[in-house]
Amino acid sequence: MLVLALDTATTAVTAGVVELTPDAVVPRSVRVVDDPRKHAELLMPGVLGACADAGIALQEIDAVVVGTGPGPFTGLRVGMVTAAALGDALAVPVHGVCTLDAIAADATAPDTASLLVVTDARRREVYWAAYDGSGARVDGPHVESPAALVGRGLSVTAAAGGSAAGLGWPVREPAAPSPRGLVAAAAAAVRSGVDPGPLEPLYLRRPDAQEPGARKKVSAR
């Protein structure tokens, strides 16, 4: 089974083709560009480039996996809307996975007792989630300041993600999700063949833009 993996929840614009077998997750191609301002411009060229690198046509994709955040509102929407449109055009299922879970899938190793995944949430805050040695999420995702996160005194042995440095834990790669990590996080659902249902973004907080309130009444003098 050939799976197209996408993520725009971090500063990285990620696309790749992964071969999912009954017992393995094998990367066929990877396209990653770190540019937080050009998610929309870079994603589809990355998708087409990843397919070309894998030696396949886009129409040969059997499923799509996309990171659903947490991430900034605008960037996150680019990946999810693109994934939904591709799924509709190709008539293939689209599976959403937590972006932090995808990073954990890459960072968890046989010697991992516990792991923290931390990414940039802007506004001097971070998104984070904690995982056990198997890579299963045990807490989060949450959004708060790095100081508040450190103050929790979490019992983890390592940290991964783009904002993991400087928190006091040993840092592991990757900083952003890879196509392999995205598909690994969704592997059980993709293999099951179950309808994944609608995509649900993990914003964790409201967007900066707000609808204007009702106009104040001006009393006549």
Provide the terminal-to-terminal Cα distance of the chain, rounded to the nearest Å: 74
pLDDT digits (tens, 9 = 90+) for 161-206: 999 999 999 999 999 999 999 999 999 999 999 899 899 999 987 5
- Host domain of residue 39: 2-98+177-192
pLDDT digits (tens, 9 = 90+) for 99-118: 999 999 999 877 788 999 99
189's enclosing H/E stretch is helix 179-192
Q: How far apart are CA 183 and CA 19, in angstroms?
A: 9
Query: Can you give the pLDDT at residue 210?
Result: 46
Query: Can you give the pLDDT at residue 217?
Result: 56
In a domain, 214, yes or no: no
93 and 125 belong to one structural domain: no
Query: Can you give the pLDDT at residue 72?
Result: 87
Q: Is pLDDT at 160 greater than 60 in this prediction?
A: yes
pTM for the whole thing?
A: 0.90
Better pLDDT: 73 or 55? 55
Question: Which residue type is seen at 20?
Answer: L
Share of the chain above pLDDT 90, in %: 79
Number of H helices, E strands in the chain: 5, 10
28 and 82 belong to one structural domain: yes
pLDDT digits (tens, 9 = 90+) for 18-50: 999 999 999 999 999 998 888 999 999 999 999
CATH of the domain at 129: 3.30.420.200
Query: Can you give the pLDDT at residue 125?
Result: 96
Strands 63-67, 125-132: parallel, antiparallel or unpaired by DSSP? unpaired
137 and 94 belong to one structural domain: no
Number of domains the chain is built from:
2
CA angle (47 as vertex; 43, 52 as ends), nearest 5: 145
pLDDT digits (tens, 9 = 90+) for 71-85: 988 889 999 999 999
**Whether the Cβ atoms of residue 179 and residue 16 lie closer than 8 Å to each other:** yes
Distances (CA, A) of 116 to 6, 67, 78, 137: 22, 18, 26, 9
**Whether the Cβ atoms of residue 159 and residue 115 lie closer than 8 Å to each other:** yes
**Whether the Cβ atoms of residue 3 and residue 183 lie closer than 8 Å to each other:** yes
Q: Is pLDDT at 59 greater than 90 in this prediction?
A: yes
Question: Which residue type is seen at 25?
Answer: V
75 and 183 belong to one structural domain: yes
